[in-house]
Each structure stands twice: as C-alpha cells, then as structure tokens.
A and B are shown apart, each in its own frame.
Chain A
Amino acid sequence: GENVEQHPSTLSVQEGDSAVIKCTYSDSASNYFPWYKQELGKRPQLIIDIRSNVGEKKDQRIAVTLNKTAKHFSLHITETQPEDSAVYFCALSYNTDKLIFGTGTRLQVFP
C-alpha cells in the first residue's frame, strides 16, 4: 500500500535562504504528489501539486520536483520569508480515493 516518509522533521533557515523538504515513497504506482502548508492553529491548505507525468512544477517561490526512478519528491522554497514559517506536509495517492500524508516538517524562518 501507499507509504511516505518525510524529512527533516524540523528545519530552521535564515530569511532569504532556501529550504528543501524531501519525501520518499515505496509504491511505484503512486501518481499524485501534493504539498500542504499548515500555519499554527489553522487548517492545512494545498500549496502545490505534481502528477507523475511531470518532473518539475514551479509557482513563484515554490517548486516541486519528482524523481520516479528513485521514488522521491521534494519541495523547494526560495528566498524564504518569515510568513513561510509553518508545518509542511507531503502526500501521495495512486488513482485511489485516498490521500496519505507524511509526518510533516516544521519550518522556521528567522529574520
């Protein structure tokens, strides 16, 4: 079945630096890979997603890359800002009706 591991669990960066969060999975049939951001006390919200027929997707300062051979996908945030501080979750699914989440990464951006 679907399973996803997320690293690191915490990440601290200086404002303006880049942040990278990586998720690995075991089921090669997984084909949908979204990333969610959860600010303190708020609900998770989708920030970017990618499907298995695409290797990279960008949206302003955030990007997601997918390596199907190695079975991992990563979230890249450039020029980090204090408002990027939050918990980020990767997730995946395979043509199924359910989305399985990683354990989350707490990102802190220091001014």
Chain B
Amino acid sequence: NAGVTQTPKFRVLKTGQSMTLLCAQDMNHEYMYWYRQDPGMGLRLIHYSVGEGTTAKGEVPDGYNVSRLKKQNFLLGLESAAPSQTSVYFCASSYATGELFFGEGSRLTVL
C-alpha cells in the first residue's frame, strides 16, 4: 500500500516550458487535491477533484490545469512555466471531507 505517490520529485524548467506532475493514490479515495507550498504562505489549494471526471478551482488556479481521467490519478499541468511557479507541490487525497493523506512533494524550479 504505497498511499499517495508523486512524480517527479524534482524538476528544473526554463521559463515557457511545459510539464505535468502526476499524482497516484491506491486508497480508493474519491477526493484529490493539489497544493503549493511557499515560505510564509502555508499550503495554498490550486485545484481539486471530488471524483473521476470532475475538477474544480481552488485558491490559486491561474497558470495550472488539471485532469482526473481515472479515479486513482490526478494530473497537474503547467502549460507555460513562470518563475513565480517555483514551489513545492503537494498532492493529497481523502475519502471525504476529513483527513488528507499527502504525497512526499515535488520540488519545481523555474529559471
């Protein structure tokens, strides 16, 4: 039982490049989330999903897109990376409105 797995764990991009972060969970959770963590800013919600095929915007959705084609996977995409998107990204899942189970995080640097 791996829990929540994020790939890649580290990535360096140049401004304007695109990339996708993959989150996979094996707990059969309905809800999945993408947060970003920046010093002094806490965890800010980017997008979330309450089930397969559904997505919704969080607090800071601009510049990101997401897809939930399969229940166990939640993808976060950056179409044109900007230095302001340098951050640590955490994926999380939950059964319902309750405890979130986080992945280990993905550190993204945009030069």
Q: Which residues of A does B touch, CB under 8 Å?
A: 6, 9, 32, 34, 36, 42-46, 49, 89, 93, 95-104
B43 touches A97 (CB 8 A): no
Residues of A within 8 A of B52 (CB): none
Pairs A–B under 8 Å by Cβ, sample size 19: A36-B100, A42-B104, A43-B103, A44-B100, A45-B102, A49-B98, A89-B42, A89-B43, A93-B97, A95-B97, A97-B97, A98-B45, A99-B100, A101-B42, A101-B43, A101-B44, A102-B42, A103-B40, A103-B42
The answer, yes or no, to whether B74 is at the interface (CB within 8 Å) is no
Give A1's nearest chain B residue, CB to CB. Answer: B59
B102 touches A97 (CB 8 A): no
Considering the chains assembled together, what is the distance between the CA atoms of A93 and B40 in angstroms?
Answer: 21
Considering the chains assembled together, what is the distance between the CA atoms of A32 and B94 in angstroms?
Answer: 14
Chain B 75-106 residues near chain A, CB threshold 8 A: 90, 97-100, 102-105
The tally of residues in B whose CB lies under 8 Å from a CB in A reads: 23
A43 touches B42 (CB 8 A): no
Chain B 52-71 residues near chain A, CB threshold 8 A: 56, 58-59
Considering the chains assembled together, what is the distance between the CA atoms of A108 and B65 in angstroms?
Answer: 37
Q: How far is the CB of B27 from chain A (nearest CB, A)?
A: 14
A100 touches B97 (CB 8 A): no
Which of B41, B45, B48, B102 has a CB less than 8 Å from the CB of A44? B102
B44 touches A97 (CB 8 A): no
Residues of A within 8 A of B33 (CB): 98-99
A9 touches B42 (CB 8 A): no
A-B interface, 5 closest residue pairs, ranked by CB to CB distance from nearest: A103-B42, A43-B102, A101-B43, A97-B50, A46-B99
